[in-house]
Chain A
Amino acid sequence: MTLTDLANPTKFLALTARLLPWLVGATILLFLIGLYQSATAPDDYQQGATVKIMFIHVPNAWLSMFVWAVMSAAALGTLVWRHPLADVAAKAAAPIGAAFTFLALLTGSLWGRPMWGTYWEWDARLTSVLILFLMYLGLMALWRAVEDPSRAARAAAVLTLVGAINLPIIKFSVDWWNTLHQPASVFRMGGPTLDHAFLIPLLVMALAFTLLFVTLHLAAMRNEILRRRVRSLQMMQASQKAA
């Protein structure tokens, strides 16, 4: 089934209906494995048991950027190829990405409290994720500000791509700013080389969260297609009544 076949919303809905049960099952399975492995992982030499927070924090931080990449690909689909499902894919992904970003911030803050003594620290990584979160919220606001769905999609596509270009710049500048104003306490977040005992649960949880995103994204795309169908039928109904 090629991408052009999938451009037909009805075919896409049929595909989604077939795929979703499998995706849900696979996601649940991976989470069960991942959670078990996280629970049984050893304590870190420096951080003790709080290293377990990393198994939630890192996948969510990774996904917050991955979802923006997915939206950027969808944005290209909207602007360059006018693929009809690109609009739907972009709009459906934004709230999910925002939720993962929020979780990354929250768990990062909870991980930081034992390490730094405060709930918030203007650490380079947390600060860039905070800016990313603001960009997600701005994008969601833009989606809701324009009434016509295809115009909203094109405006959102431009903002998504501009954001994608800016993200490396923002990360670089925040990192640079942070090293200039290095806080008094020096800490290690996980460290450059991760022991197998921590790496395996981390990868499994990352995979689980990614599958969760794919599942939620497909379901949200299905909802968005239905919402557009409702909108066009309502407009048809209004014009039929007027006639």
Chain B
Amino acid sequence: MSALGALIQRDIRIALRVGGGALIGVLFFLTVVVLMPFAVGPDLKLLARLGPAILWLGALLSSLLTLDRLFMADHEDGSLDLIAMARTPLELACAAKALAHWLASGLPLIIATPVLGLLLNLDVPATSAVAMTLLAGTPALTFTGMIGAALAVTLHRGGLLLAVLVLPLSIPVLIFGVAASEAAITGPHSFGAPFAILCALSLVSLVVGPFAAAVSLRHGLD
């Protein structure tokens, strides 16, 4: 098995273990979505109207929470230095880690969405729209967030700084994610346009993220 394949498999295994934190992300997603009706009120119509936005916000905050883990554990036990020194280009290693992270943390969010959609009084077309936009958009969140994680890995209280750095960069993804969901549910506006842009954002982040993260790691680790 290639080095990258091994890296992906290793990361997924670690993430799915008890201390790994992947399923904690889903739990946090559930908590956020459950909290919203307490803040907003139990009016089902309002919740249905806000549904896509609540789900997207929950996914965004949950991915932010788990991003901290992306490099931190490896940095603490020294394996990050080994990965940086290996023959595989660091950019590809970062991409592999981000992919593993998305598979372990992002994909469960998408799977949890139909259940949570029920809590928010969303019907099946609405929930599938939101799930599809999350499928297209969460890679962007992971790969862009990876840049912040790489920048913050060598800092002590990096977690909060990470959030501050990553959130402005995530705003376009949020905007188009929610817009695409709403367009599929209610709108006269097309679903295709914002969805295409969302996919474009993800594809761009697939390239920019690993490069920027690799540069940050190289400079931060020496």
Contact = CB atoms under 8 A, between A and B. Distances in A.
Task: Consider the complex of A and B and state whether they touch directly, i.e. have CB atoms less than 8 Å apart.
Answer: yes
B182 to A, nearest CB: 9
A177 B208 CA distance: 24
Interface stretch (A113-121, A137-145, A205-213): A137-145
Given A145-B161, A165-B208, A155 B201 contact: no
A154 interface: yes
B89 interface: no
Nearest to B156: A145
Contact of B176 (A131, A141, A161, A173): A173
Contacts of A158: 147, 151, 212, 215-216, 219
A180 interface: yes
A159 B168 contact: no
Interface residues of A, number: 28
A97 to B, nearest CB: 15
Interface size class of B (residues with CB under 8 A): 20 to 34
Contacts of A138: 161, 164-165, 168
A30 to B, nearest CB: 33
A47 interface: no
Interface string A146-177: 10000100110011011101100110111011
A180 B169 contact: no
Interface string B161-172: 100110111011
Nearest to A177: B175
Contacts of B154: 146, 151
A185 to B, nearest CB: 21
Contact of B179 (A134, A159, A162, A177): A177
Nearest to A158: B216
Interface string A59-97: 000000000000000000001000000000000000000
Given A137-B164, A142-B151, A174-B175, A162 B169 contact: yes
Given A135-B168, A158-B215, A180-B189, A151 B175 contact: no
Contact of B175 (A79, A145, A161, A176): A176
Contacts of B171: 131, 170, 173-174
A145 B167 CA distance: 18
Nearest to A78: B219
Most buried by A among B154, B158, B168: B168
Nearest to A145: B155
8 contacts: A138-B165, A142-B165, A145-B155, A154-B216, A155-B151, A158-B151, A159-B151, A166-B168
Given A151-B219, A169-B201, 9 more contacts: A138-B161, A158-B212, A159-B151, A159-B165, A163-B168, A165-B208, A174-B175, A176-B179, A177-B175
